[in-house]
A = this chain, B = another copy of it.
Amino acid sequence: MLISSRENPIIKETAALVKSAAARRESRSYLAEGLRLCYDAVVSGVRPRRCFITKEADERWPAECAAIRGASFESCEIPPSVAEKLSDTVSTQGVFAVCDLPENVFSAGEDGLYVVLAGLQDPGNVGTILRTCEAMAVSGVLLCGCADEWSPKVLRASMGSLFRLRTSVFPDGFAALEALSAAGCETWASALDRDAVKLPEARFSAKCAIFIGNEGAGLPEELIKACSRTVFIPMPGRAESLNAASAAAMLIYQWSAGRC
């Protein structure tokens, strides 16, 4: 199918998925953009509802585009002007896929690490942490009041790890804590508290969760108290300040290093 008008209703509907979390929720779908991300999606077993590919992209990356088209229920050719309308980037590659939002199912049956992100607002941080979680084989990620994981910026920063990670969404950190405790998880709050367990000395149990808070405010005090333990990252420098994704990297690394 060829769609050549930017005013086509399918294009308008698809463009809304880029801008609005409400549109994504309502249609139960999101838009992946870029050759690498769309190809990653189909290789990871995602079957897009519909893909949009420009002739230029098809000529440049024939094998990958054929794979994306082959996995999609419907495929559309679009001109560069329509690609620009769908794009969230400065210079688009002209490759897009509308994919189903996965079911929001939580399970903490297996041993491993569960990472809880509570109130993280920066999409780059959320995506970067998801990428770290996949690389370090985290068992599940619980998102509580964070930047929408299916927004274009989070998807991009996650480098496709969202297609392979188990994520679930909770209204807040307390709801996540309840679910994790019910599943027999040890729960660790990370906080700037010098009386807490120092990260290099933390002994995480086989099934545990680490809670990571908002960029500026950290975790709410009551949530910290409600967790079984509190851990802090010793910072010998002058400013006690780490980017949230960097702090998450250290926490997840320490857990992983203890398993080597």
Q: Which residues of A contact B (CB under 8 A)?
A: 124, 128, 131-138, 157, 159-161, 164, 198-201, 233-243, 245-250, 253-254, 256-257, 259-260
Q: Which residues of B contact A131 (CB under 8 A)?
A: 239, 241-243, 246
Q: Which residues of B contact A247 (CB under 8 A)?
A: 249
> How many copies of this chain?
2
Q: How far is the CA of A120 from the CA of B61 in the complex (A)?
A: 27
Q: Which residues of B contact A200 (CB under 8 A)?
A: 257, 260
- Asked whether, in the complex, the Cβ of A164 is within 8 Å of the Cβ of B239, the reply is yes
A254 and B256 form a contact (CB under 8 A): no
What CA separation (Å) do A254 and B257 show in the bound complex? 10
The CA of A199 and the CA of B253, in the complex, are separated in Å by: 10
A242–B132 touching, CB < 8 Å: yes
A45, chain B: closest CB distance, angstroms: 12
Whole-angstrom distance between the Cβ of A123 and the nearest chain B Cβ: 12
Q: Which residues of B contact A164 (CB under 8 A)?
A: 238-239
Q: Is the CB of A241 within 8 A of B159?
A: yes
- A236–B234 Cα distance when bound, in Å, is 26
Question: Does the CB pair B254–A236 fall under 8 Å?
Answer: no
A219 to chain B, nearest CB (A): 18
Q: Which of B198, B236, B250 contacts A137 (CB 8 A)?
A: B236
Instruction: Report Cα–Cα, A257/B250, bound state, in Å.
Output: 10
21 A-B residue pairings within 8 Å (CB atoms): A124-B124, A128-B245, A131-B239, A131-B242, A132-B243, A134-B239, A135-B235, A135-B237, A136-B237, A138-B237, A159-B239, A164-B239, A198-B260, A199-B257, A201-B260, A234-B260, A243-B245, A245-B245, A249-B249, A249-B253, A250-B253
Contact yes or no, B239 A135, CB < 8 A: yes
Q: With both chains docked as a complex, state the minimum distance between the C-beta of A234 and any C-beta of chain B, in angstroms.
A: 6
**Residue ID in chain B nearest A238 by CB atoms:** B164
Given contacts A200-B257, A243-B128, A249-B249, contact A237 B137 (CB under 8 A): yes
Shortest A111–chain B CB gap in Å is 13
- Chain B residues, CB < 8 A from A259: 236
Residue of B nearest to A163 (CB): B239
Nearest chain B residue, comparing its CB with the CB of A199: B257
Question: Which residues from B are CB-within-8-Å of A238?
Answer: 134, 137, 164
Task: Please list the 3 inter-chain residue pairs (A to B) with the smallest Cβ-Cβ separation, ordered nearest first.
Answer: A200-B257, A246-B249, A249-B249
Q: Say yes or no: A135 contacts B240, CB within 8 Å.
A: yes
